A = this chain, B = another copy of it.
Amino acid sequence: MTRQKTEIRQEQIKQAVLDIIFTEGLKNLSTRNLAKHIGMSEGSIFRHFETKQDIILSIIQDVQDEFIGALRTIANANRDPEVRLNEFLCETVHYLIANKGITMLLFSEASHNNDETLKKNLQVIFSSQKMLISKIFIDGIAAGKWDESINVSNLAMIYMGIPISINIDLVLSSNEFSSENFCSNMMQLLLKILKR
């Protein structure tokens, strides 16, 4: 195989991991199969990542940087809470659909290994989302737009169910998920809860 910089190979390896998980399942994510998938030797993989676990952790780090980073920007923007809520939800839906392998990876790894480092990382991803969406709710309530009797923590939990339900759908049914009206439909229901 032609020589490439380790950074390029790392990206290739991570992408191949996601591909395999989504198409063949985590069970088939062996270093042998991974190497075959990329077209490189098995030994090369360990030149670019020390362990297989490190590949997973690197992907989880990407999710935190890219996805959670984007959500943070949306949540902290100085704009109408309803607009932010809508963008937050849509960004989530689009990311999950565009990166189908990632959610399966997160689900699987949490339950497959009982690794504490991994679980901690996943908990950060979930609690970050909860925290950020709560901030939007609180801002809207503080601005007098939304019902102040709403329990923000409970509503955040309901909200978190939405992306997770999408994931289950993506995992179990291989058919296309229609994201077109999904965002606005969910927004309608959320806004009804938030209405004073």
Q: Which residues of A contact B (CB under 8 A)?
A: 21, 23-28, 104, 107-108, 110-115, 119, 122-123, 126, 150-151, 154-155, 157-158, 160-162, 164-165, 168, 171-173, 185-186, 188-189, 192-193
Q: Is the interface of A mostly helix, strand, loop or mixed?
A: helix
Residues of B within 8 A of A113 (CB): 25, 27
Kindly provide the distance from the CB of A31 to the nearest chain B CB, expressed in whole angstroms.
16
Given contacts A25-B113, A154-B185, A161-B164, 10 further A-B contacts (CB under 8 A): A24-B114, A25-B114, A104-B111, A107-B111, A110-B172, A123-B172, A151-B188, A151-B189, A158-B186, A160-B161
Residue from A25, A113, A123, A161 with most neighbouring chain B CB atoms (10 Å):
A161
Kindly provide the distance from the CB of A91 to the nearest chain B CB, expressed in whole angstroms.
18
* Cβ contact within 8 Å between B189 and A192: no
* Cβ contact within 8 Å between B110 and A171: yes
Q: Can you list 12 pairs linking A and B with CB atoms under 8 Å apart?
A: A27-B113, A107-B111, A108-B108, A110-B171, A123-B172, A157-B162, A158-B162, A158-B165, A158-B189, A164-B168, A192-B192, A192-B193
